[in-house]
Structure 1
Amino acid sequence: MSLDWIAIDWGSTRLRVWGLVGDRVVREAESEDGMVTLSAADFEPALLALIDGWLTEGRVTPAFACGMVGSRQGWHETPYRTIPCAPSATELTAVLTQDPRLQVWIAPGLKQDKPADVMRGEETQVAGFLAQRPGWDGAICLPGTHSKWVIFSAGEVISFQTFMTGEIFGLLSTASVLRHCVEGWDDTAFLAGVDLGFDRPDRLMARLFSIRAETILNDLDRAHARARLSGLLIGAELAVAKPYWSGQPVALIGDTTLTRHYRAGLAHIGVSVEIGPAPELTLAGLGMVRRLAQSERS
């Protein structure tokens, strides 16, 4: 079956592709060939390793990509668009491919000048979410290594902020003095940590070390310690992000354990949310990018 187009979600650590006829997915594949593992010359071979059998001789199949593939360290740097703006764009960057059966277009990310911030890939998920909810205004949180909080109104992203919460948790739990005392999970300890981080984010640094101290002095359970560490960090993030979620609809985009932790933390402080599955919304957003590109060329 000849494909109409290919959707590509290319992040720092993973590559995921879909082959589509219209809006119907007929092929799907993924690999661990993320941006951080590749040089510029490696991107096309990594992509073809997944989709070579999908391509038809004598026919060019268009592919639309989002994510870190468009970063300075990616396949081809794609300029950022400045907010306020719609999350989807017609300003795509064409990538010169060696394989004549393939034409790749990369969607741009978004940038915010003050305070300085950038995103690549998340804007496509936001576009997919909004495509399924016309007229929706509110706050969207995208948990991850670098979580994003986005304010959307009247069809445009008007503000966003990135938090390194996930990366800090990873570093503290694997490469700091706390690595010796964190393992497992405890839901009650997580929510207690959310309380502490949310109520006094100014004391976060001290309370992080108290995990180590309680382990030495009181034999703090390792599962309790790890969950409290996560709760402290997420609670502090929620406190700082309050201008984003306070008094308006909130959506979480993701389908990971981390997304569930954010949902539990928000519920604990009285904020109800709806969940949007990330792969589905990425695909919907790339579909919008394709339609806009087709409209622009027609």
Structure 2
Amino acid sequence: MKVLSWNVQGAFPYYTPIERIENQIQYIRESAEYPDIIALNEVNRFRRDMWVDELTDLGYTELVHTLDWAEELGESDVPPHQDFNHVNGNLTAVHKSSHVHSLTRLSPSIRNGPWDGADLKDWDTNMPEKILHATVELADSTLDIWNVRAVPGSMHGEEKIKILNNTYNRIRRGCQSPCLLTGDFNAPDRELADGTLIPWRNDQGGDIADKWVTAERNILRGLEDNGMVDVFREQHGYGDLDILDVSHATQTDDPLAVPPADVEGKRFDHLIASHDLHPEACWYDHDGFRCSDHAPLIAELRPES
């Protein structure tokens, strides 16, 4: 089972250039070769029809997204939504040739769920379109898929903390294995060669900074007790690698002009999967920089049949 996770750069301008989307569709078809599951972030809501039509033509006949939420909230003048542009959301799709099927979008609820006795019911973000929870049917089990885009904290403050916390707590309390969490987490700031995780604001004091650090560490490392692993790091380890090990080339002006191992930036895009999905390969595809500021993350899994 091949999974692709990709931030397709649909935040600005309000109307993403058609040519960029056409190139991304071409990439999915020719370079990625029709992954079984695709999880896209930053899909521009003003280009929803184009994305749906193009992906359907590629054979992604089962498709769910949060662009309807983004549209409704983007047209709201109820505070605090006037401070958020709500331009984009997430999209998850399954290819018709895949052995996974019955893609179902789930909507968050604070009325129902395994929350009895909990102090919090974990749905307090003002940007729900950044969290897409769906399920698909495997041969003998149901796979939970969480497609998440954490907004930059420099622009949206504590909304990043809320998105990460909502996702983490919902998975910890409500999801059974197998489970797949993927997307652009805008975290961490960096990782050391020995595996040490350095979250944003780790060198700042105060309650907000502490919550920030905890939220990033939880989403990236805290699901190990649930039997979930960072697939890229499990496959490749840390330190100097001979492959692309960042997804957002923040420190390389033209990532296509240098070898993949020389691209410098941040590893913001992640795929965290249950052990029993049996990850076999995982990589960031350098070629994806041709049509996005993020490299696609691709993984090959072998769930038990």
TM-score, normalization by structure 2: 0.32
Q: Choose 1 or 2 for highest CA Rg.
A: 1
Higher relative contact order (CA 8 A, sep 6+): 2
Bigger helix fraction: 1
